[in-house]
């Protein structure tokens, strides 16, 4: 059990080794089956996982690719979105969301977010639409889905596609349907830290449109459908057999892992409710929260993070710099103050340790340290 003091046992922000040790035999057996199969790329493991994961999402098709970034990029390419087009999204996201839009040749247009959920504010979409707008790209942040009813209504009224960034919210429900099943396509990341994480990188696009799925399969493999003949300009982006096998294995315990995340979140809620100026995560009615992140808000964020570090507790800021204010995207022309809620959140958010095997005693240690901080200890 972690205790106070700079030399104490650390409370890790994220850790996979306990899960690996518990499931080591099954994991190594799955790897051995792939290595013994004679097929290492785009074989039966990928196909089986594509079918299983897409069905779990409530869609008809899945196309495995090599990262969540490529999942977004290829989804946009499959919609023929490119130079001259605009894609509406948010700036309080990981850079890959915006990088994928730029890689497709399109221009990201940012709208602000809801202060309590950190999710796209659908009420602001109408004001961001121009004749060049082709797509709305909501980000299901922290483990909760954005308001897909309101977003879908705006998209339908203006004839726009919707591509969902589901990197942080595999399995999150909105009115009984899973994230990724609302738009033209849903893009997932299987980066190791994710709700469903691989032992390396990986991603998938899910869709219920057979023609789009077929095109995605071409685009991920040089534009080919078989043999060495390219039907269109394509790319190299394939989920490999080993990661597919491991992801399929992990799906068997996914519900239990999410239940453990929710349990830890509930313990944080119970222990931190009403403490100082701390604002806890909000789950909107009609939605589930997978708690990929447990992100709190406080005007004393930097002090709190430093204090927790002094107690041996790791935390993260997801994300300290909104994309629209980063030097790498200064060419988009956004000035400070253009997204006031997003910018305020960037100075207040702090993610506490959260992963399925996070020991309950570590949760209690974090709660105690946070309470001590606000009590002036």
Looking at residue 227, its pLDDT comes to 84
Q: What's the pLDDT tens digit per position in 169-212?
A: 999 999 999 999 999 999 999 999 999 999 999 999 999 999 99
305-342 pLDDT per residue, tens? 999 999 999 999 999 999 999 999 999 999 999 999 99
pLDDT (0 to 100) of residue 8: 61
Q: Write out pLDDT tens, residues 70-81.
A: 999 999 999 999
The whole-number pLDDT of residue 213 equals 98
| CA atoms of 234 and 223, how far apart (whole Å) | 4
* CA–CA distances in Å: residue 286 to residues 122, 149, 195, 261, 281: 16, 11, 20, 19, 15
Q: 5 falls in which pLDDT band (50, 70, 90)?
A: very low
Domains of the chain: 26-250 (3.40.640.10), 253-375 (3.90.1150.10)
Q: Please state, in angstroms and as integers, the Cα–Cα distance from residue 369 to each residue in 301, 350, 362, 373, following that order.
A: 14, 14, 10, 6
Of 12, 7, 6, the C-alpha closest to 361 is 12
Whole-prediction pTM value? 0.95
* 348 and 301 Cβ atoms separated by less than 8 Å: yes
Alpha helices by DSSP H, listed for the chain, are 17-35, 44-57, 68-78, 95-103, 148-158, 210-219, 241-251, 254-272, 301-310, 340-346, 360-375
Indicate the average pLDDT of the chain: 96
pLDDT confidence tier of residue 7, bands split at 50, 70 and 90? very low
Q: Could you tell me which residues come within 8 angstroms of residue 167 by beta carbon, excluding any fewer than 6 positions away?
A: 68, 94, 96, 97, 139, 140, 187, 188, 189, 191, 194
Q: Give the sign of the dihedral formed by CA 201, CA 94, CA 117, CA 54.
A: negative
Residues 46-65 have a mean pLDDT of: 98
In which residue are the tokens 């099943």 written?
181
Weakest-pLDDT range from 2-16, 292-306, 325-339:
2-16
Three-state DSSP state, 208: coil
Q: Which residues touch 246 (CB under 8 Å, ≥6 apart)?
A: 27, 30, 31, 198, 199
Tell me how far apart the alpha carbons of residues 109 and 89 are, in angstroms, rounded to a whole number. Answer: 6
- Tens-digit pLDDT profile for residues 124-161: 999 999 999 999 999 999 999 999 999 999 999 999 99
Q: Quote the CA–CA distance of 104 and 296 in Å, as a whole number.
A: 34
DSSP string, 230-272: BSS---B---BHHHHHHHHHHHTTHHHHHHHHHHHHHHHHHHH
Has residue 226 got a pLDDT over 90?
no
Question: Has residue 9 got a pLDDT over 90?
Answer: no
> Please, which residues bridge with residue 126 across strands?
none
Phi/psi for 192 (5° steps) reads -50, -30
Quick one: pLDDT at residue 377? Answer: 60
What's phi and psi for 6, nearest 5 deg?
-65, -20
E strand or H helix at 355: none
Among residues of the chain, what percentage have pLDDT more than 90? 95
Q: How much is the average pLDDT of 256-281? A: 97
Give rounded-to-5 percent helix, strand, coil for the chain: 40, 15, 45
């Amino acid at each position: 059990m972690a205790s106070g003091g700079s030399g104490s046992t650390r409370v890790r922000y994220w850790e996979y080794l306990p899960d690996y040790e518990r499931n080591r035999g099954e994991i190594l057996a799955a790897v051995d089956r792939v290595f013994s199969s004679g097929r290492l790329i785009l074989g039966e493991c990928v196909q089986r996982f594509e079918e299983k994961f897409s069905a779990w999402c409530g869609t008809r098709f899945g196309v495995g690719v090599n990262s969540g970034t490529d999942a977004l990029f290829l989804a946009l390419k499959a919609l023929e979105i490119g130079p001259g087009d605009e894609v509406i999204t948010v700036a309080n996201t990981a850079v890959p969301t915006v990088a994928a839009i730029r890689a497709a040749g399109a221009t990201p247009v940012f709208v602000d977010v809801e202060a309590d959920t950190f999710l796209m504010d659908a009420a602001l979409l109408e004001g961001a639409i121009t004749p060049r707008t082709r797509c709305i790209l909501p980000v299901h942040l922290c483990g909760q889905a954005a308001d897909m009813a309101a977003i879908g209504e705006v998209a339908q009224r203006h004839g726009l596609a919707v591509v969902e960034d589901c990197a942080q919210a595999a399995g999150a429900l909105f009115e009984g349907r899973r994230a990724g099943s609302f738009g033209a396509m849903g893009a997932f990341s299987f980066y190791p830290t994710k709700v469903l994480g691989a032992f390396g990188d990986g991603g998938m696009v899910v869709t219920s449109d057979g023609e789009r799925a077929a095109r995605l399969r071409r685009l991920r493999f040089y534009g080919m459908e078989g043999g060495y003949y390219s039907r269109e300009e394509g790319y190299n982006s394939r989920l490999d057999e080993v990661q597919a096998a491991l992801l399929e294995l992990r799906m068997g315990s996914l519900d239990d892992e999410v239940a453990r995340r929710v349990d830890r979140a509930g313990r944080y809620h119970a222990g931190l409710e009403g403490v100082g100026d701390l604002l806890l995560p909000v789950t909107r009615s009609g939605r589930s929260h997978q708690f990929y992140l447990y992100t709190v808000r406080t005007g004393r964020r930097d002090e709190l993070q430093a204090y927790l570090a002094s107690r041996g507790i790791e935390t993260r800021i997801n994300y300290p710099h909104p994309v629209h204010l980063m030097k790498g995207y200064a060419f988009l022309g956004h000035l400070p103050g253009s997204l006031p809620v997003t910018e305020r959140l960037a100075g207040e958010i702090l993610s506490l340790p959260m992963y399925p095997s996070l020991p309950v005693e570590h949760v209690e240690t974090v709660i105690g340290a946070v309470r001590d901080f606000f009590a002036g200890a």
